[in-house]
Structure 1
Amino acid sequence: MAKFLKISIPIIILVLAALIYWRYFFVFGEGVKGGTLNYFEKKGFVFKTWEGRLVQEGFQSPTAGALQSNEFRFSALGDEVANQLERASGRFVEVRYKEYLNALPWRGASKYVIYEVVEVGEREGGGNRDIPTNNN
């Protein structure tokens, strides 16, 4: 019995460590999102984290025939990113993010974590992109 415990306890600990890493620290995906920064605030009871929302152009809906605004809720990582986003409220913002499988309280309330601000532009007629016009 003692030999069984000496073998099974380290295996159980190793499996639990791998499961915790996969659920909370494994980066599931990375990407770039762009949209109008709707709000950005610091909140939390024990761990104060930066939380925000980008509203992207267009509409999407999980059900056919319904309209829903395309929102991207995120948490921000670090003071430099937070300072850039604080000054960009209401403007077009492009950000790089990492997607985790689950959120951690000290990392933020969202599984999407912004780690870099790529661009901040003015919101004139659809953002900082060129819009084709019909010149007939």
Structure 2
Amino acid sequence: MMQRPVLWRWLAGFILVPVLLFAVYTWVVLHWSYSSGERAGYVQKFSKKGWICKTWEGELAMVSMPGTMSEKFDFTVIDDTVADKINKNLGKRVSLDYEQHKGVPSSCFAETEYFVTDVRVVE
């Protein structure tokens, strides 16, 4: 039979190691971008969503030529300052700077892998 302190150390290690590994993985995924870029179009949907972790989720309609079908770009905004800029420019043609983060472990952090970092109005 194991002694009580040894059992507690073993259980603590068994629980803490996976939790620590998950935390490190999540931090790396959220802070190291796979790619970055820019997309231009019209934000046609933008709302704050989530049960516990509230994030701004949006949809950008990218139109290459008038009269053609638009391509949709789903994105996430974590920074409230960027979200305010998007809300102030709804209905205008905008350019969104984004970073792609592959492998985000939960929809609690974002519904998409594209995180918008800045927005500019395109004249």
TM exceeding 0.5: yes
Say whether the 8 Å CA contact 2:96–2:118 is kept in structure 1. Answer: yes
AA of the residue aligned to 1:58: S
Q: Which residue of 2 aligns with 1:87?
A: 88
Question: How does 1:1-136 map onto structure 2 within 5 Å?
Answer: 20=25, 24-25=29-30, 26-58=32-64, 69-103=70-104, 104-117=106-119, 119-121=120-122, 128=123
CA-based RMSD of the aligned residues comes to 2.9
TM-score by length of 2: 0.68
> Structure 1 regions of 5+ residues with no counterpart?
1-11, 60-66, 122-127, 129-136
Q: CA deviation at 1:20?
A: 2.6
Percent of aligned pairs with the same residue? Answer: 26
Name the SS for the 1:101 alignment partner.
Answer: coil
Q: CA deviation at 1:22?
A: 9.3
**Alignment deviations for residues 78-134 of structure 1 (CA, whole Å, 9 cap, x no partner):** 1110101111222111111000113344532110000111x224xxxxxx2xxxxxx
Say whether the 8 Å CA contact 1:35–1:93 is kept in structure 2. Answer: yes
In the alignment, the residues of structure 1 paired with residue 96 and residue 78 of structure 2 have an alpha-carbon distance, to the nearest angstrom, of 12
> Greater share of helix residues, 1 or 2?
2
TM-score by length of 1: 0.62
How many residue pairs were aligned?
101
CA 1:68–1:101 in structure 2 vs 1: closer, same or farther (change >3 Å)? farther
> Structure 2 regions of 5+ residues with no counterpart?
1-16
